[in-house]
Amino acid sequence: MAASLWKKMYAFNEDRLDKPRRFGVTEIPIPNFSPFSHNLLQDIFEFRGEYVDGLKLSGDSYSLMPKATIKQVIDLAHQHGVYVSTGVWDEHVIPKTPSDFKEYVEECKQLGFDTIELNAGSLGIPEETFLRFVRLVKSAGLKARPHFQVRFNESDIPKGGDRAYGAYIPPEPRSSEFVEDVDLLIRKAERCLKEDADMIMIDALGISQHADKMRGDIVAKIIGRLGLEKTMFEASNQRISEWFIRQYSPKVNLCIDHSHVLDVECIRGRNSGSNHAFVFGPSSFSVLK
């Protein structure tokens, strides 16, 4: 009731759908497990649950927790209409053979996971095996989400190291080459979608953190080929989230920190964030150019 009045007060976009949503999805990763994690989740779902579509178990410590604890977290999310993704919670022990991976999928299903995320960069398996894993996830009745990252050449990243304070550092030329060609990344993602993968996760950190400016050309190429509804971007901060919403409307799918949920929802609801200062005051995160 309070959330509904809040929406009316700030003139939210009428096109913003209620859960479950096919687009404009907001997913949050939960960090490593601690005695406070359950209380944190309860608070998030109680006060922001209407604006959270998915939960990703992002901490390796979850793989060390009893299965009953994992199931308790998943059940809590489901009570609030939030799907749960494996994220990287158990990535380091994902089997590399199809037969063992099938058992892993069944275990995830029994625990209550809705989505299994497969990191193409860290699994270290042939592409055909990766596609077979996608099919195994789908055949078990779960959602499959391949994860890709745009990797920049080391020459694109500023050099670090010990140096005297105020010492002059001569500029070094930067290349525009990528460790992994973007077109190749898109081709792999397209093959996953042909195998009925539900969505492609793109790590946006590489597109923004090590570049002088947001590489909108890369984002445009990815969305243009894969489709807005079929892609989700990991946005590491509010500046990146605002950029995505301004450029691609509130329908863009984002994975964000739980502390940014209300800010991002306000930007989504107020027509790409053009008037979000009306709610929060002057923006502390100017849009990337």
What is the pTM assigned to this prediction?
0.78
Question: Which candidate, 221, 146, 124, places its Cα nearest to that of 178?
Answer: 221
User: Hey, what amino acid is at 4?
Assistant: S
Task: Report the pLDDT value the prediction gives residue 152, as an integer from 0 to 100.
Answer: 59
Task: Report the pLDDT value the prediction gives residue 77, as an integer from 0 to 100.
Answer: 94
- Domains identified in the chain and CATH numbers: 18-29+42-156+177-251 (3.20.20.70)
Q: Report residue 55: phi and psi, to 5°.
A: -125, 130
Q: How many CA atoms lie within 13 A of 189 on its CB side?
A: 29
Q: Are strands 143-149 and 200-203 parallel, antiparallel or unpaired?
A: parallel
Our CA angle for 137, 138, 140, nearest 5°, is 70
The total number of residues shown for the chain amounts to 289
Task: Report the pLDDT value the prediction gives residue 170, as an integer from 0 to 100.
Answer: 53
Low-confidence ranges of the chain (pLDDT < 70): 1-15, 31-36, 59-62, 88-93, 151-180, 205-206, 208-214, 270-289
Task: Report the pLDDT value the prediction gives residue 180, as an integer from 0 to 100.
Answer: 55
Report how far residue 198's alpha carbon sits from residue 250's, in angstroms, rounded to the nearest whole number.
20
User: Hey, what amino acid is at 114?
Assistant: D
Task: Report the pLDDT value the prediction gives residue 93, as an integer from 0 to 100.
Answer: 64
Task: Report the pLDDT value the prediction gives residue 9, as an integer from 0 to 100.
Answer: 45
